[in-house]
């Protein structure tokens, strides 16, 4: 006698195989990774840049109002500093720098409160906006201050009469104080208080049932 032969398994008797399915669109991705998020960041960066540039008007007015005056005097042949040992010229640069640092603090704090996650567009906006605002403040302060025609002003007031020198910024590096202050403070606030990104999943796709 021979053992009965076992018939080969039919296709319907084979164990089921689970086919791989593509994950749904956007699975495992952040919400702001697509185009709309980038456009939002660029729009916010543009608003920050314009706001900081317009803030240069207030900085220029404050600089003109608070900066010390440099007294000059003329003897009808030349114009001299009335106080050769005075530090008013240094105080003019120092006042601009201090005001710019304060504006950088306010700018960084305001941007961080509006958008805590930061981002490269906002960093660029703080840099460009601070420079534009400082340039506008510098030129506006000079325009509001005493005339740049020192010789004509000396002739107008007469010999031996003290008058104010034009408002000048000797240390041009002060034009970067606003941007540097805003960048450092914003980066510090972002590093300390910005929300952390969630840890990536070990398995990016949900596991299927065992074969």
Spell out the domain ranges in the chain: 55-193
Query: Rounded to an integer, what is the distance from CA 21 to the centroid of its chain?
Result: 45
Structure tokens belonging to residue 147:
């005339």
Q: What is the mean pLDDT of residues 3-13?
A: 53
Write out pLDDT tens, residues 38-80: 888 899 999 999 999 999 999 999 999 999 988 888 877 778 7
Most confident of 21-25, 84-88, 183-187, 188-192: 183-187
- CA-based torsion, 70, 75, 80, 84: positive or negative: negative
How large is the angle between the packed helices 35-66 and 88-114, nearest 10 degrees?
150
Statement: residue 17 has pLDDT above 60: no
pLDDT at 105: 96
* C-alpha to C-alpha distance for 125 and 49, rounded to whole angstroms: 5
Q: Cα angle vertex 60, ends 161, 156, to 5°? A: 20
pLDDT at 65: 95
Q: What's the whole-model pTM score?
A: 0.73
């Amino acid at each position: 006698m021979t053992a009965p032969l076992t018939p080969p398994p039919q296709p319907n008797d084979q164990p089921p195989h689970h086919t791989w399915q593509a994950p749904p669109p956007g699975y495992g991705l952040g919400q702001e990774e697509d185009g709309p998020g980038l456009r939002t960041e660029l729009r916010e960066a543009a608003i920050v840049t314009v706001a900081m540039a317009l803030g240069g008007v207030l900085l220029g007015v404050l600089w003109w109002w608070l900066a010390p005056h440099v007294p000059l005097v003329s003897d009808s042949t030349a114009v001299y500093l009335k106080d050769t040992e005075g530090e008013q010229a240094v105080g003019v640069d120092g006042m601009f720098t201090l005001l710019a640092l304060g504006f950088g603090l306010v700018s960084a704090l305001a941007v961080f409160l509006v958008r805590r996650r930061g981002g490269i567009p906002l960093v660029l906006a703080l840099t460009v906006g601070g420079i534009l605002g400082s340039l506008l403040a510098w030129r506006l302060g000079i325009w509001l201050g005493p005339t740049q025609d020192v010789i004509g002003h000396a002739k107008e007031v007469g010999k031996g009469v003290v008058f104010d020198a034009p408002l000048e910024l000797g240390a041009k590096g002060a034009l970067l104080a606003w941007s540097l202050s805003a960048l450092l403070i914003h980066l510090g606030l972002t590093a300390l208080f910005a929300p952390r990104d969630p840890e990536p999943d070990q398995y990016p796709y949900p596991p299927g049932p065992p074969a």
